[in-house]
Amino acid sequence: MTKLSDYFYKKQEEIKEDLLTLTRAESPTPDKKLVDECGQELAKLFYDYLGLKPEVFKQDVQGDHLKFTVGNGGKRVLFLVHFDTVWDKGRIPIVEKEGKLYGPGVFDMKSGIIQALWAVKGLIDIEGGLDNLEIVFLCTSDEEIGSISSRSLIEQEAKTADVVLVTEAPVHGSGALKTSRNGVGIYELIVKGHSSHAGSHHYDGISAIKEMAHQIIKLEGMTDYDVGTTVNIGIVEGGTRLNVVPDHARATIDFRVKTKEEGARMVKVVENLQPLTEGAKMEVRGELNRPPMERTEATAKLFSYAKDAAKEIGFELKEAHIGGGSDGNFTAGLGIPTIDGLGGYGDGAHAEHEHIDLDELPKRTALIAHLLKNIAKE
């Protein structure tokens, strides 16, 4: 055990209490008032521990984004964290049971915020400062709905960073960090046909649902597990009455890709879909919401620092590719070395059993602190 890890184990109860404070400040993305109140609790923690006041990026609809900067060394490290959650206020309880802490956002991703904050605090308390580091915490409020208002801010901050660290959770089971993620395409397909009586004038109708069925089969058939491309039609709507040939239909398209090249190909295919039914018309809306987070040599080097940090603490760290996206996709897409999964270890993202393992809190906090030390030595 290192001096740093010993420090975090001794501070485990305090770390847990800070996590409870932040978790109790429930922050469902659509509720700006609650999200901003959570941001105030977050700002208080940063001020109490690091003497920092936030730079506030005001938002009209979503909660305000916050930025905290500490240190003035040569290596600029950007922490990407989000403090919004998918849970409406009071939807799930906060419970501590059998060494686990359950609650809204405790896993995704408030534990990651607390761990990163305490890692920096530990470096200052035990090491005496942040030698050769400038650390920026960009705390955003809309990750759970696609980072609509924060993406430009994330990319702006990343352009001046040497590395990006994302404190989403590690992989459940292995505890691996995420060195690559799929890109995510999100589209809406709208089909317009012509209504008619389903009995006496069936031949006059153009069924939007029939056309949509053709498109769904085509799109779902583009899934290729060997390449790493998946397509999911998640929502299908259409029609008005049982006895009316439907004149409209709507479907949502979610596709995932591993590489920029495959992403560009899929965008071209989806955005150029053509109707197969004579007289039907189609409209496609959407975008590649997150570019792929690809594993590069620079990413591999950054992960090696994390792996060495884990060895110092006394455990073996693995890496993994994940199908889901995060804000790290944006920064990796700009070519900035990015690793993800530095948050709290647990399970149940977006599920009622969302939780973290409390015994992992000090270990994962120490991992971040030692990783920062290794980055500073480069």
Tell whether the model's pLDDT for residue 378 goes beyond 90.
Answer: no
Q: Which residues of 204-241 are buried (b: 16+ CB within 10 A; e: fewer)?
A: ebbbbbbbbbebbeebeeeeeeeeebbbebeeeebbee
Query: What pLDDT, on a 0 to 100 scale, did the predictor assign at position 131?
Result: 87
Tell whether the model's pLDDT for residue 205 goes beyond 90.
Answer: yes
Residues 314-348: tens digit of each pLDDT? 999 999 999 989 999 999 999 999 999 999 999 99
Could you give the angle at the alpha carbon of 321 between the alpha carbons of 315 and 325, nearest 5°?
A: 115
d(CA 368, CA 372): 6
Query: What pLDDT, on a 0 to 100 scale, did the predictor assign at position 110?
Result: 98
Query: What pLDDT, on a 0 to 100 scale, did the predictor assign at position 54?
Result: 98
User: Got the DSSP string for 187-214?
Assistant: EEEEEE-B--BTTTTGGG-B-HHHHHHH
Query: What pLDDT, on a 0 to 100 scale, did the predictor assign at position 73?
Result: 83
Domains and CATH numbers, the chain: 3-182+293-377 (3.40.630.10), 185-290 (3.30.70.360)
User: Got the DSSP string for 272-289?
Assistant: T---SSTT-EEEEEEEEE
